[in-house]
Amino acid sequence: MICWINPFSGLAGDMLLAALIDAGAPVDRIREAIGSTGLTGWELSAERVTTHGLAAVRVRVEVSDTATERPAGRLVDMVSRVRPRPVSVLAAAALTAISEVEGRLHGVDPHEVHLHELGGHDAVVDIVGIAAALHHLGVTEVVCGPLPLGVGRTRSAHGIIPVPAPATLELLRGAVVTGTDIPGETVTPTAAAVLSAVAARYEPLPPAVLGRTGYGAGTRTLGDRPNVCAVTVAEGVPAGRESVALLETNLDDVTGETLAHVVHRVLEAGALDAWVTPAVMKKGRPAHVLHCLCHPGLADSVQELMSAETGTLGIRRSDISRSVLPRHTEVVDVRGAAVRVKHGPYRVKAEHDDVAAAAARLGLSLREVAELAAAAAAREEDGS
C-alpha cells in the first residue's frame, strides 16, 4: 500500500498521526504500541474537529509524568522494545535521525542529546504512533507532496531561532520544499525525521487505486486556510506501463564534476533516473550526453534545471513509455544502524548511501553491511 501525503499547510508529527487515524489506523493498536515502550504518564486521545469548514481529526497527548527531558539514547532504547519489529525499527530510525542532527548542531554526543518536549513524550508518542499506524494500514511506500516552509522565528529550549529550524532543514535534505508566507514553523523536526526514516519519495503519485483519505489537524489556527494535512491510502498498480519524458542534451564544454553535480540535482528534484554517456561530436570533439528521465509533469522544471546548471542551448524531449515492476522500500536494523532496503520481484538491494554510512559507523566493509541488511530484510519477510 502507498501512503500519499498532501502537506497542504505544513506537516507535524501530531498532524500526520491524526490523519492516519482518520484514514483508518486503529487507535487501540497505536496506544498498545506506545505503551510497549515502557513510557508512563501519558494519555493519547483523538477528537473530531472542524477547521475552516473541513472536518478532521486532532490528537492530544496529556502528560502527567514529571520528567522534563530524557537523553535520546534512552528514548531509542525504549522504542526498540516495541513489537511488531517493523514498528520499532522505523521509530528507532526516526529518533536516531533527530538525535544525530541535534548532536551535530549542538556539538554533543547524539546519545546524550536531550529532547525537551515534556521529557520526550511528544516525540515518542508521535513517532511510535505513526510507525504503528503505517504498519497496521499495510503501508510499504510513502509519497509526499512539496513541503511548505514557513517564515519568521520561533522559540525553542535554546532561545529564539529562525524558521525553518536548523534541525528541520538538516533532516529535510533531499526533500522537495516550497516557500510560503505562513508565519512560524510549518514543518517540525519530528515530521521531517519520520519522512527521512520511511524513505519518502517526493514525486507525483504513481498509478494507484485510491482508498480512504484522512485529514489531520494541527493545534495552530491559521487565518486563511485549514491547518491540516491529508493522507490517502492507495493500492499500487502492479507491473504495467507508464508515460515518461526523456530529456537529453549534448555537452562538449562541461566538466565531469559539473556533470556529476547535475545528475545529483535532477534526482533531488524528482527525476526518475539520470545518467551520462560519452559521445563524439562534429570535428571529432569528445563530449557527453546528459539523459534525464522524469514524469511528464516535472519535465519543464527538470529541463530548466538542466539548462541552468550546464548552460546548454537546447534540450531534446521524447515522450515515451516504460514498463514498471512493483517495488517497495523498508527500513531494517543493522547493529543499531538504520538501512533502507528496496524489494523488487527478483532481487533485494540495500540503499548505497545508508550502507556507506552504516559501514563507516560500524567499522565494516560495504559488502558486509549490504549482506547484513539483506539478511535482516529476509527475516522481516519471514516474520521472524
194-223 pLDDT tens trace = 998 888 988 888 778 889 999 999 888 888
Higher per-residue pLDDT: 75 or 188? 188
Residues 55 and 172 placed together within one structural domain of the fold: yes
* Boundary (domain end) residue, out of 201, 236, 271: 236
Q: What is the pLDDT of residues 296-343, one digit of tens each?
A: 989 999 999 999 999 999 999 999 988 877 777 888 889 888 888 988
pLDDT score recorded for residue 106: 63
Residues 156 and 59 placed together within one structural domain of the fold: yes
pLDDT of 157 over the 70 cut: no
3-state secondary structure 315-348: CEEEEEEEEECCCEEEEEEECCEEEEEEECCCCE
Residues 253 and 181 placed together within one structural domain of the fold: no
Where residue 288 sits, what CATH number does that domain have? 3.30.70.1380
Average confidence (pLDDT) over 165-174: 86
Residues 158 and 298 placed together within one structural domain of the fold: no
Average confidence (pLDDT) over 353-377: 91
Residues 147 and 248 placed together within one structural domain of the fold: no
pLDDT of 356 over the 50 cut: yes
pLDDT score recorded for residue 308: 95
Residues 57 and 123 placed together within one structural domain of the fold: yes
As a whole number of angstroms, the distance between CA 276 and CA 306 comes to: 13
Extract the C-alpha cell encoding 132: 504503528
In terms of Cα–Cα distance, which of 191, 205, 198, 238 is closest to 9? Answer: 191
Question: Measured on CA atoms in the order 202, 203, 209, 213, is the torsion positive or negative?
Answer: positive
* Boundary (domain end) residue, out of 309, 324, 339: 324
pLDDT score recorded for residue 112: 66
Percent of the chain with pLDDT over 90: 43
Cα 280 versus chain centre, distance: 41
Residues 37 and 104 placed together within one structural domain of the fold: yes
Q: What is the pLDDT of residues 273-286, one digit of tens each?
A: 999 999 999 888 99
Extract the C-alpha cell encoding 46: 483523538
Higher per-residue pLDDT: 39 or 357? 357
Average confidence (pLDDT) over 24-47: 89
Residues 100 and 117 placed together within one structural domain of the fold: yes
pLDDT of 117 over the 60 cut: no
Count of the separate structural domains present in the chain: 3
Residues 266 and 336 placed together within one structural domain of the fold: no
Burial 306-327 (b: 16+ CB within 10 A, else e): beebbebeebeeeeeeeebeee
**Does residue 205 contact residue 2 with C-beta atoms inside 8 Å?**
yes
* Boundary (domain end) residue, out of 236, 270, 286: 236
**Up-side HSE of residue 91: CA atoms within 13 Å toward CB?**
35
Residues 186 and 159 placed together within one structural domain of the fold: yes
Residues 151 and 262 placed together within one structural domain of the fold: no
Split at pLDDT 50, 70, 90, the class of 120 is low
Domain residues for the domain of 314 are 240-324
Q: What is the pLDDT of residues 52-110, one digit of tens each?
A: 889 999 999 888 776 656 677 778 888 888 888 888 889 888 888 888 887 776 667 66
Task: Provide DSSP, 271-286.
Answer: -SEEEEEEEE-GGG-E
Mean pLDDT of the chain: 86
pLDDT score recorded for residue 153: 74
146 phi, psi to nearest 5 deg: -55, 135
Residues 279 and 378 placed together within one structural domain of the fold: no
